[in-house]
Structure 1
Amino acid sequence: MSLQNWIASFGVGVLLIGFFMNVFGYLDSKSKTYSILNAIGGLISCYASWMADFYPFVVLNIIWSATAIISLIKKGVPRETP
């Protein structure tokens, strides 16, 4: 298996770990851990897609990762209480 396939498999594996943990109730979809797994897995998958010159998945994974990163930023900002 090529290096590109190893990188892609690792990235997808990280995404799937978060997905399975959420589906089976071990991880809440609103948790920071879930967002971190999505951001990291998406960025790794994006890199592997870029290596393969498969740009539709580069775009998909950029959006996936950006959404997760924005979610992390929002979770880190304390909310004002009246």
Structure 2
Amino acid sequence: MQTPLDIYSVIGFVGTACIIGAYFYLTAVKAPNPFILHGTNLAGAALLTVSLLVHTNVPSLVLEGFWAAIALWGLVKALRSRGAGEDTA
């Protein structure tokens, strides 16, 4: 079965690229910036969720929910560390 490449699939691919890029960044950089890392992961999860709302795959949708929640937690943690004057690396 062949599925056409519509705008929602393209959005999903961009989200996938964000998550893969964030993982590469985490692996490649000695001291990754948590705002870049978690922000990119959150953007990727959001874009994939848009795609999954149209091309429904419930297990993947649940995964993206957890992925977004972890990214939000990481951003909040980084913001709190920044506010306390601690090193965010």
TM-score of the pair, normalised by structure 1: 0.83
- Residue matched to 1:50: 53
CA distance in 2, matches of 1:27, 1:44: 26
Q: Is the contact made by 2:34 and 2:74 (CA closer than 8 Å) also made in structure 1? A: no
State the Cα distance separating 1:53 from its structure 2 match. 1.4
Matched letter for residue 42 of structure 1: A
Q: Is the contact made by 1:45 and 1:61 (CA closer than 8 Å) also made in structure 2? A: yes
Deviation beyond 2 Å, 4+ runs, structure 1? 78-81
TM-score of the pair, normalised by structure 2: 0.77
| Gap change, CA 1:80 and 1:25, over 3 Å in 2 | closer
Aligned residues: 80
State the Cα distance separating 1:41 from its structure 2 match. 0.4
Tell me whether 1:23 sits opposite 2:27 in the alignment.
yes
The gaps in structure 2 that reach 5 residues or longer are none
The gaps in structure 1 that reach 5 residues or longer are none
| Gap change, CA 1:33 and 1:27, over 3 Å in 2 | farther
CA distance in 1, matches of 2:55, 2:47: 13
State the Cα distance separating 1:80 from its structure 2 match. 8.5
